[in-house]
Amino acid sequence: MALVCIAIVFTFCSGAVAAPTGWILFESERSGGLDIFAVRPDGFSLRQLTANAGADSSPPVSPDGSTIAFTPTRDGDSELYLMNLDGSEPRRLTHTAADKSYPSWSPDGTKIVSSQHDSHDAEIGLVDVSTGETRKITDNDVDDWVPSWSPSGDRIAFARGAFPNNCICAMAPDGTGLVSLTACSGYRGAPEWSPDGAWIAYYQEVAAGNTEISIMVADVYVLGVASPLTEIVSVSPAPRGWDCPGAWIADDSAPTP
């Protein structure tokens, strides 16, 4: 029973991903370092997929369920790696100076979008899975990070700005058609599309009590979006008990508590 509870906690709050093969992938320090694990939705059949000196994190699965993308620090910086679903054959995909994080697959599995951090700021980068070729699709003086590719493939949602104020935005995969989906007041992050592409879940942090005290609490909101992205349909708090974005019912557009 304890294992089941742990699996649920990681599914909602630690970047866990429900793979199309019936496994939940998550990162955990239970082995001493930060590694990637897989577990069945019932909490059984726990598997450790990585075991390295550096931190292994952010493990989304390719749309066909065969490949895991992740961002280890085993080579001194954080690059994009790929490995098979069972953790075998890890291979480095990118070789650039910028640290990578928060990878998200394109629906056809040919590209990965991720945050790319350098000494200046964070931008959104696009990587060709077959070649490892990387290019920026945002390039400005503000932080662009935590991208999420829409199920239709025509939009990428992401957070723009830095603490204490940022907003959720969306754009085409080539960086054009930028739309701000929320106001840029308050701290927002981790946008996640619903399976039907009609909603985006994200968290918003608000100061608790005295605004001079940097103690933050997070609420989750769901954002209804029109297609094409010309207007915001609705914004509302997610159901209580659904504490972090990232979990949607597979055959519906509603978040699961």
Residue 242: pLDDT over 70: no
CA 210 to chain centre: 31
> What are the structure tokens assigned to 64, written together?
């066909």
Residue 55: pLDDT over 50: yes
Query: What is the mean pLDDT of the segment spanning 205-230?
Result: 49
Q: Are 247 and 220 in contact (CB under 8 A)?
A: no
Q: Which tops the pLDDT comparison, 251 or 93? A: 93
Query: What is the mean pLDDT of the segment spanning 9-20?
Result: 45
Neighbours of 168 (CB within 10 A): 27
Kindly report the pTM of this predicted structure: 0.78
Query: What is the mean pLDDT of the segment spanning 73-92?
Result: 90
d(CA 24, CA 18): 4
Q: Which tops the pLDDT comparison, 243 or 184? A: 184
Q: Which of 18-22, 50-54, 155-159 has the lowest mean pLDDT?
A: 18-22
Neighbours of 9 (CB within 10 A): 14
Long-range contacts formed by 200-203: CB under 8 A, 24+ apart: 200/148, 200/157, 200/168, 200/170, 200/225, 201/238, 201/245, 201/246, 201/248, 201/255, 202/159, 202/168, 202/245, 203/244, 203/245
**Per-residue pLDDT tens digits for 118-158:** 877 899 999 999 999 999 999 998 999 999 999 999 999 99
Q: Percent of the chain, pLDDT > 70?
A: 72
Range ranked top by mean pLDDT from 8-12, 13-17, 44-48, 104-108: 104-108
d(CA 186, CA 56): 30
Domain annotation for the chain: domains and CATH numbers: 54-237 (2.120.10.30)
Average pLDDT of the chain to the nearest whole number: 77
Q: What is the pLDDT of residue 4?
A: 28
